[in-house]
C-alpha cells in the first residue's frame, strides 16, 4: 500500500514536513498506517491515513512521543520490531518491542485521542501502581454478609493498557451490630451493613479512562478469598465514591486469575 510513497515528504496536519531522523518501523492495516521514528533521542509514533486510490498519505498525526527515550551517545537501532493488529472493527493496537523497556502498547485507531503527553510508563502494561488505596469512608446500611473484606482497584484504558492493582486495604470484619450472645453471626449470613468507599484521584487518572474495583471476601478462616469485580466504569473527573451495600459481582475471579493480573514484566526485543 505504501509503494511509491516518499515517507520523507509526508506532511503533518499543519502542512509541515515530519521532523524525524530515522524511520524505525512502518506498519499498516486497512487504510491506517503507523510510523515509528526517532528524532534527537525521542521515540515518535505517527498515525498516517492513506488515500489508496490516489496512493498518497492524506495526513500524518503525531500520536505519541517519549522524550529522551535514548540518552545522548546511546546507539539508536536501525529497526524496531512492531506489530499493528486490528482486534475489533474499530480497535487497532500497535505493539512496539524496543529491547529497552517492556512492551509498549498503543491504541492507534481513529476512535483514539492523541496521546502525545502520556508518560512512557502509562503505555506499558502493569507498569504503574496507583498511588492511593481504597478508603473506607463510612459504615452505611446494606446487606453485606458476615465475612472479612479487603478492597483494591486498577485503572485501565479500554482495549489497551492497565495499571497494577492498588495496595489492598486492611481486612475489615463485617459483623452485624444487632447480634446477641445467644445467636451471634453465622458465617456468610446477611447483615445490615455496607461500606462507603472513596478512591482519591491521583496523577495517573489523566492517562487512563476506566477503573475496576475488586472486593476480596474471606468467608471461612483458613480458606482462600473469593475475589469479585464489583465496579467497572469510566473514571470520574474527581474522586470516585461507591456504596458497597453487598453489590452483586460483575465477575468472580479465582485467586490464580487475580494473582496473574499484575503479570510478568518482560523486555522483548522481537515480536513474533
Query: How do the pLDDT tens digits run along the chain, 272 residues long?
Result: 444 455 556 766 777 777 888 899 999 888 788 999 999 999 999 988 776 665 666 678 889 999 999 998 898 999 999 999 998 888 999 999 999 999 999 998 877 776 777 899 999 888 899 999 999 999 999 999 999 999 999 999 988 899 999 999 999 999 876 655 444 456 778 899 999 999 999 999 999 999 999 999 998 888 889 999 999 999 999 999 999 999 999 999 988 888 887 665 667 677 76
pLDDT of residue 65: 92
pTM for the full predicted model: 0.82
Nearest partner of 76 among 128, 22, 112, judged by Cα: 22
pLDDT of residue 7: 56
Nearest partner of 96 among 156, 25, 18, judged by Cα: 25
Residue 10's CB is within 10 A of a number of other CB atoms, namely 19
Q: How far is CA 101 from the centre of its chain?
A: 17
Given phi > 0 = left and psi -120 to 50 = alpha, else beta, which region is 263? Answer: left
Amino acid at each position: 500500500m505504501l509503494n511509491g510513497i516518499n515517507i520523507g515528504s509526508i506532511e503533518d496536519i499543519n502542512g509541515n514536513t515530519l521532523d524525524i531522523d530515522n524511520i524505525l518501523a512502518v506498519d499498516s492495516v486497512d487504510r491506517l498506517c503507523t510510523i515509528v521514528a526517532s528524532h534527537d533521542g525521542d521515540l515518535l509514533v505517527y498515525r498516517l491515513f492513506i488515500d489508496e486510490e490516489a496512493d498518497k498519505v492524506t495526513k500524518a498525526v503525531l500520536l505519541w512521543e517519549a522524550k529522551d527515550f535514548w540518552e545522548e551517545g546511546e546507539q539508536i537501532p536501525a529497526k524496531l520490531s512492531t506489530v499493528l493488529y486490528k482486534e475489533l472493527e474499530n480497535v487497532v493496537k500497535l505493539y512496539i518491542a524496543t529491547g529497552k523497556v517492556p512492551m509498549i502498547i498503543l491504541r492507534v485507531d481513529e476512535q483514539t485521542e492523541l496521546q502525545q503527553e502520556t508518560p512512557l510508563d502509562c503505555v506499558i502494561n502493569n507498569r504503574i501502581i496507583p498511588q492511593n488505596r481504597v478508603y473506607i469512608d463510612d459504615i452505611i446500611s446494606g446487606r453485606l454478609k458476615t465475612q472479612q473484606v479487603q478492597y483494591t482497584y486498577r485503572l485501565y484504558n479500554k482495549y489497551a493498557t492497565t495499571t497494577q492493582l492498588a495496595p489492598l486495604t486492611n481486612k475489615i470484619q463485617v459483623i452485624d451490630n444487632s447480634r446477641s450472645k445467644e445467636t451471634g453471626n453465622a458465617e456468610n449470613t446477611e447483615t445490615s451493613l455496607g461500606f462507603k468507599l472513596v478512591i482519591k484521584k491521583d496523577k495517573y487518572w489523566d492517562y487512563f479512562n476506566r477503573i475496576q474495583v475488586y472486593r476480596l471476601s474471606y468467608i471461612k478462616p483458613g480458606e482462600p478469598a473469593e475475589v469479585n469485580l464489583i465496579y467497572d466504569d469510566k473514571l470520574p473527573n474527581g474522586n470516585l465514591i461507591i456504596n458497597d451495600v453487598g453489590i452483586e459481582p460483575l465477575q468472580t475471579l479465582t485467586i490464580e486469575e487475580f494473582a496473574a493480573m499484575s503479570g510478568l514484566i518482560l523486555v522483548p526485543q522481537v515480536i513474533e
